[in-house]
Structure 1
Amino acid sequence: MIVCVTLNSCLDKTLVVPEWQPGDLVRGKSVREVVGGKGNNVARALKRLGRSARPATFLGGPVGRHCAELLRRDDGFDAIAVPTQSETREILTVLTEGTPNQTAFFDPDPAVTPREAEQFADEIEKALAGREVLALTLSGSSPSPATHGLFSDLISLARARRIPVFLDTYGPALDAIWGFWPMALQLNRKEAAGRLRKTEVSDGDVLGLLADWSRHGVTCGVVTDGPRAVLAQIRDKRYRVIPPSIKVVNPIGSGDSLLAGLVDGWLNQLDPEAMLRRAVACAVSNALVWDAGAVNPDEVDRLADEIVVEPIG
C-alpha cells in the first residue's frame, strides 16, 4: 500500500464545447467530472502500474461529499477523507472540441483550520502505523496557513517508521521543510526557479539545487522541464534524462505520473538509470492521453527503451 496525500483536492470538471470566442453564449457538448489534485493522480498512476494506493485528502461540503463518492465509485479507492468546514474547490476546464486548446478556471483555495490540519496528521499517523504501508507520497500545494507545515510533520512521522517519502511540492509547503527531509524530492523548472528566488534558472542552478538537497539527505532529486530533458541526482550521481518527441494530448498529470514511476521503480529496486527511464516513461505515457494518471503499463515498458539517460560528470 502507498498512501498518497493531497492537501488541496478539487472537483475537476471538463466541459467540451464547440469553437468559441470570449463573450459568446456557448452550449457544452459534454461534461466529465473527476477528483483532481496531484496526489490523487499519483494514486491513479500507481494503480495502473499494479500498486495498491490509498489517497488521503481534505474534503468539505456537498462538493467534498461528491468527491468522496467519485473516488470510491469511479476510481475504486478507499480514501482517507478528513472533513473541513470550507467547501472543496471546483476547477472548470473548458476544452474546445477537436483541438488541444483548453482553459481552466479555479475556485479560491479552501480555508483549512488548525484543528482540521491536526486531525489530518492524526489520520495519516494511524495509516502509517500499519505494516502494509510501503511508501508515502506528498503532492501539490498547501491551501492555507494551517496546512503549510503538514508535509514537514508527515515526513517526520514516516521517517520514524522507516517509510520512504516522495515529495512534490513548492512554495510555503516546501519552505516549511526542516529537520527531516524526504527520500525523494521532485520539482519542475518553474518551481525550482521560485525556490531559488529567480525568474529563470540555468542547468548549473538546477544541479546546484540538487546537490543542496543531497546534503540535506535527499537520496533522489528530480527537476522536470515539460517535454525537455529532466535533470536528476541519485545519491552522488547526476543524470540528464531525455524523453522522446511525441504528439501531446494532455500534459496535465505527467509530473504526478513521473512521481508514481519513481515510487514503483524504487520499490522494485531498479538501478538509478532504469528507475529514471521508467519514471519518465510514465510521464510520457500520461501525456499521450487525456485523463491524468492514466498510464499504460505496456506503453511504459516500450517508451522506457526510447528514453536516453546521460550521466553528468
Structure 2
Amino acid sequence: MIVTVTMNPSVDISYPVDILKIDDVNRVENVSKTAGGKGLNVSRVIKQMDGELIASGILGGSLGAYIIDQLNDENVPNRFLKIDKESRNCIAILHEGNQTEILESGPTLDGGEGDRYFKLFEKLIEEADVITISGSLPKGLSPNYYQRLLQKSHGKDVKILVDTSGEALKQTLLGDKKPFLIKPNTDELNALLEQETTFDIKGLKEALSNSLFDGVEAIVVSMGADGAFAKIQDTFYKISIPEIKVVNPVGSGDATIAGLAMGIDQELSWEEVLKIAMTTGMLNTMEERTGRINKANFKEYFNQVKVEKIKK
C-alpha cells in the first residue's frame, strides 16, 4: 500500500476572467475549487489508477474540513492530523493566456503539532510499502522535518519517495537516513547543486554523480517535453516521450510521482516503473483539471515511451 504525505495542503481556487482589470471589479462566473497540494494530486492519480492508498498530512479549520469532504467524495482514503489552525487557499487567476497566482502561506505550526504528526506517521509506516512525501513544509517546522520523518522509518521495510525543493530537499539529503527516490526537475537540480548543469547526457551524468546523492537508490530528473533522465544505483537511463497536446501541465510532476510509487509498490522492473511514471505524467498534462488522468488512454501512451539504458 502507498501512503501519500502532504504537510501543507490547500483549497485551490481557479478564477477564469477574459481580462484582469487592475484596481477595479472582476466578476467571475465559473469558479473551480479543489482539494490541492502536491501530495493530494499524487493521491488522486493513484486512486484513478486503482492503486491502494491512504492520503495523510496536516490540515485544520473549515478549509481542512472542505479538503476532507472532497477526498471522501472522490473515495480517496485519508488519515490527517487535524489542528485548530486554518489551512490555506491558493488562488489562480486565469487571464489573457496568463496565470497569476496568489498563494497563502498557510498555518504556522508549533513543535507540539509537528510531534503529534510524528506519532501518526509512525502508525502509517506499519501499513505502508511505499510512502510519498510531496511539497513544501508549513511555517514553524524545521527544514529538516522530512529528514526526521525518514528517520522514523529506520528498520522498516518501506520505500520513501521525496518530491520537494530548496532547503527542505537539501536537508533531506544531508541526513543519515536517505530517501529511496527523489524527483527534482531541472531548475530544482540546479538550485540544489548551486550550478548550471548542461542538460545533455554527459552533464546529467556528472550532476547525478555528485556526492550529495550518495545513498539515494534512484534519482529521476523530470525534463518536460524532453522526458526524463534517471540514475538507478549506478545505471543511467534516458526516457523519451512522444509529442502530445498539452492542455494543462500543472501537476504533471505529481502524476509522475504517482506512477513511480505505483510501479515500485508493484515491484516492477525499473524500465516499467519509468514508463508508467512518464505515462501518468503525460496523461495529466492532457486534462484540464490538475491531478487527473484518463486511464483509458494509458496503454496507448505507455507503449510510446522509450527507456534507453546509457552505456558507461
Query: What is the TM-score normalised by the length of structure 1?
Result: 0.91
Partner of 2:69: 69
* Secondary structure of the structure 1 residue equivalent to 2:239: strand
The correspondence of residues 145-160 of structure 1 with structure 2, limited to 5 A, is: 145-160=140-155
Contact 1:214 1:221 in 2 (8 A): no
Structure 2: segments with no counterpart, 5+ residues: none
1:247 corresponds to: 245
- Contact in 1 for aligned 2:130/2:264 (Cα 8 Å): no
Deviations 1:40-82 (A, max 9, x none): 1111111111111211111122222222222223x22332222
Distance between the aligned counterparts of 2:220 and 2:99, measured in 1? 28
Shift in alpha-carbon separation, 1:78–1:305, aligned structure 2, 3 A: closer
* Amino acid in the other structure paired with 1:260: A
- Verify the 8 A CA contact 1:121 1:150 in the aligned structure 2: no
Structure 1 residues not aligned, in runs of 5+: none
Letter in 2 for 1:244: P
**Does residue 279 of structure 1 match 2:274?**
no
Deviations 1:92-147 (A, max 9, x none): 11234xx75432211124211111111111101012223xx221111111122424
Residue 206 (1) aligns with residue 215 (2):
no
* Cα offset, 1:205, TM superposition: 4.6
Which deviations, in whole Å up to 9, do the C-alpha atoms of 1:183-202 show, x marking residues without a partner? 1111111111110123x322
Counterparts of 1:129 and 1:22, CA distance in 2: 52
C-alpha distance in structure 1 between counterparts of 2:109 and 2:191, whole Å = 24
Contact 1:83–1:116, Cα closer than 8 Å, also in 2: no
Matched residue of 1:105: which SS?
A: strand
* Match in the other structure for 1:107: 104
CA spacing shift, 1:209–1:86, aligned 2, 3 Å: farther
Picking from 139, 148, 155, the partner of 2:134 is: 139
**C-alpha distance in 1 between matches for 2:25 and 2:258:** 40
Q: Which amino acid aligns with 1:170?
A: S
Q: Does 1:266 align with 2:264?
A: yes
Aligned-partner Cα distance in 2 for 1:303–1:92: 32
Amino acid at match of 1:43: S
Give the equivalent residue in structure 1 for 2:236: 238
CA contact (8 A) 1:18 1:28 kept: no
Give a deviation string over 1:164-191, Cα, whole Å, max 9, x none. Answer: 1111111222122211111111111111
Match of 2:80, SS state, is strand
The change in CA–CA distance for 1:102 and 1:64 in structure 2 (over 3 A counts) is same
Equivalent AA in structure 1 for residue 133 of structure 2? L
Runs of at least 4 residues off by over 3 Å: 19-24, 212-215
- Give the aligned residue type for 1:186: K
Following superposition, the deviation at residue 267 of structure 1 comes to: 2.4
CA RMSD of aligned residues (A): 2.0
What count of residue pairs does the alignment treat as equivalent? 307
CA distance in 1, matches of 2:308, 2:97: 32
SS in 2 for 1:43: helix
SS at match of 1:227: helix
Aligned to 1:35: 35
Q: Assess if the C-alpha contact under 8 Å between 1:41 and 1:256 holds in 2.
A: yes
Match of residue 309 from structure 2: 311
CA contact (8 A) 1:238 1:311 kept: yes
Residue 78 of structure 1 corresponds to which residue in structure 2? 77
Q: Distance in 2 between matches of 1:108 and 1:38?
A: 15
Q: 1:247-282 deviations in whole A, cap 9, x for unaligned? A: 211111100111111111122332222221111111
